[in-house]
Chain A
Amino acid sequence: MEPIIKVNNLRVVYHKGTTAESVALKGVSIDVNSKEFAIIFGPSGCGKSTLLYAMTGIERNVDSGDIFVKNKNVVKLSAEEQLLLHRKDIGMIFQAYNLIPTLNVIDNVALPLIADGVKRAERKSKAMLLLSRFGISQFAERFPQNLSGGQQQRVAIARALIGDPDIILADEPTGNLDSQSAKVVMETLFNLNEEGNKTIVLVTHDPSYLEYAHKVFHIADGCVTKVEMRNNMTVRRELTKNVNLPVDLLQIKRASSVESDDSVADEEVFLIPRR
């Protein structure tokens, strides 16, 4: 089967031809298969984010190479195709949440649908469904700055899912979170992959997350140094057990894997059903 994301010999050069020229990626080739959980791992400044954003087609400093997402070369997409790619095929999650502070939670979540001209009632019901699955429907009318970091990141995850994309790209989504919120986010992503059949590409420099992955791309200084296939079915099965999978459609489960720490007693994991 064709990989859902295929990067061929990608070279990204910033400020090419000037004295400030810097080569962020030096001929990177990676494949991510459909329904795979892939992690891009490496130290700060090695080019992880650059690689991730290049996959969405918005990196304009691609010097050479091709990036295929669902068999379309995103380097050469027309503006319209790229918009549709972002609305329907790719969901993005960021370290800094990147919610729009002047829009309430529901508009933030529904933004890709608003961009697509979806009617209000329809997008609202979709957004509310996602919010309630992540246990934050009571915040629907609030503004992002009135939510905790963990809650904001869950809003952002809901937003990434609203267009029902096959691919989720996450750039250090736990970077600003405390360890418990981080765990909730990671388990949500894991669950989206395991139960929701989403393809996940996660950027991180935290080695403790590698256990979630099927595949890890080790990056250093703009090059892939190692592709690690993790034969970790047992580990993943264990993880699955920890988050009490499988669940039924809208069943809410308390994250039993969270060792009873009072500060996060109200953090709940809402599991995305298999489609």
Chain B
Amino acid sequence: MCFCRNWHSQTMFGKDISLMGAPWGEIERDLLFVGWGEETINRAFRNVRLEASRKQARTIRSFWSVKKAKKVVARAAAASRMRMNDILRFAMRIFKVRPGRTILTILGIGVSFGTIFFLVSLGYGLEHLLLRQISSDESLLTLDVFTNNQDAIPLNSDSLSSIKNVEHIEKAYPVVNPSGQVEIGDLVAEADFYGVSESYFGASGERFVGGESFSDGDKTVVLSSVFARIFNVSNTGELIGKDVYIVLYLSHKNIIEGTEDIQMVSIEEPLRVVGVVDDPAGNRIYVPFSLIANLDIPYATVKVVVDDSSNFGTARAAIINMGFNTRAIVDTIEQADKIFKVFQVILALFGITSLVVAMIGMINTMTIALLERIQEIGIMKILGVSNGDIRRLFLFEASLMGFLGGTSGLIIGFFVSRVFNIGINFLAKTLGGNSVELFYYPVWFVVVIIAFASIVGFATGLAPSHKAATMDSLDALRYK
């Protein structure tokens, strides 16, 4: 009786045992023999059909384990549908019947996914480019501290040491920003001077086009690349090794009288140029802070490096509490991120539009394919192909087209982006710029494109496959 109960629960899992073509009476006797009640037999076989031969009847008689019963039922169920490789082979006929139409449809999807792939990898590429340009790791942890009112909240060596005492601050160093003159040979030019420590270059994300940074205590300077033009040298590299003389203008406010004196301080020794940073517009000259520390110039900013990005907000808040203002590259990146979000939405709209067009093309192709094959569907059905297999066949064809569309889209998008990149770099080189990589191809996006294209194909196949599967076989057979 225990066996009956087991069988019982097992009829729930599944499909069926029909005993068509089997000597039913004999099987029934067998089942009664092993202890099935009449009602149990009826219930077990009510929904389910499995083609059982004499041999299978003997197997059923020896069903002492549910596991074995499951196996037999599974095998019988599997025997009643087309093999996967046959479905694949049948689906491949889309390339035989109307290869032109199939390929055009696939290319339609390919172009649409290619556009999406192109735009998205461009978006990613630009974002990468920007982040690499404006930010080193340290620069993301760096905070510029400045004051709006040097008189009320002065930024000087006292405030520097109190900033240094704020928790989570790894280092802090001043930047002074007097204006002045620079002299190379007999040429003189106005310039903005920055008295900085050597750490400044790592934190600011400044890009060197020649030479390198100075060390604290050296008697050297770093110029911005604009001086190549100002001093008439053809190449920024030629500036390096030259000696310059500098004069600084220092202002002293007299609060009581409300007047301001300008004092000109010239540094008598020649300073050697050791590096050039990329800036074709601003006349900037960096000098080691140590060189001008004794001039007691109020600090323009204090660069603060926080120990860890997770403490960035806390440290920043603490400094703002002291009355100072702050600025960080992170802010710029957040700004840029917002711009990229907008850019991505625009990309998505472009992509969705072209996708909709491609999907309409594909639905059209599937519908025409269905109409052309109504008679074939009727023939297949009347020869014993199940509705489920017809549905699978159409769905498979549609998914296959989607998959191939996605794959060709990747290929198209990739090649177009390569050509585009080469073109842009060629242009950049002739205009004297640097070559850049505008595109970035995230692996996950490649996978997503192929998967999504297949899903889109599958989705466009749903309606036609349903129509094919539920079509009346006789009507289909007689369809002209």
A157 to chain B, nearest CB (A): 13
Quick one: given A79-B386, A115-B380, are A102 and B96 in contact (CB under 8 Å)? yes
B20 with A100: CB separation less than 8 A: no
Q: Is the CB of B383 within 8 A of A111?
A: yes
Among A60, A80, A112, point to the contact of B472 (Cβ < 8 A). A60
Q: Does B51 contact A (CB under 8 A)?
A: yes
Q: Which of B31-39, B79-87, B244-252, B332-340 contacts A (4 or more CB under 8 A)?
A: B79-87
Q: Report A-chain residues with C-beta under 8 Å of the C-beta of B18.
A: 78, 80-81, 84
Specify which chain B residues have a CB less than 8 angstroms from the CB of A112 in the assembled complex: 383-384
- A92 interfacial by beta-carbon distance below 8 Å: yes
Q: Are B81 and A102 in contact (CB under 8 A)?
A: no
Interface string of B363-393 (1 = CB under 8 A from A): 0000000000001100111111111010000
Please judge, given known A-B contacts A58-B473, A80-B16, whether A111 and B385 are in contact too, CB under 8 Å: yes
B21, A115: Cβ atoms closer than 8 Å: no
Contact with A along B28-49 (1 / 0, CB 8 A): 0000000000000000000001
Pair B79/A79 contact, Cβ less than 8 Å: no
Q: Provide the residues of chain A in CB contact with B93, threshold 8 Å.
A: 102-103
The answer to whether B97 and A117 have CB atoms under 8 Å apart is: no
Q: Which residues of A contact B472 (CB under 8 A)?
A: 58, 60
Q: Is the CB of B20 within 8 A of A115?
A: no
A80-B18, A102-B97 known; A117+B79 contact, CB < 8 A: yes
Asked if B379 and A100 make an inter-chain contact with CB atoms under 8 angstroms apart, the answer reads yes
Most buried by A among B78, B81, B384, B386: B384
B380's contact among A79, A81, A100, A119, by CB below 8 Å, is which? A100
The 0/1 profile, CB within 8 Å of B marked 1, for residues 213-250 of chain A is: 00000000000000000000000000000000000000
Instruction: Identify which of B16, B83, B376, B380 contacts A117 (C-beta below 8 A).
Output: B83
In the complex, which of the residues B49, B376, B381 contacts A81, with contact meaning CB atoms closer than 8 Å?
A: B49
CB distance from B77 to the nearest CB of A (A): 10
Determine the chain B residues whose CB is within 8 A of the CB of A72 once the complex forms: 20
Distance in angstroms between the alpha carbons of A60 and B90 in the assembled complex = 28
- List 24 contacting pairs A-B, 8 Å CB cutoff, sorted by A: A56-B382, A58-B472, A58-B473, A60-B474, A72-B20, A80-B18, A80-B386, A81-B18, A83-B386, A87-B383, A92-B382, A98-B375, A100-B376, A102-B93, A103-B90, A111-B385, A112-B383, A112-B384, A114-B86, A115-B386, A116-B384, A117-B80, A117-B81, A117-B82
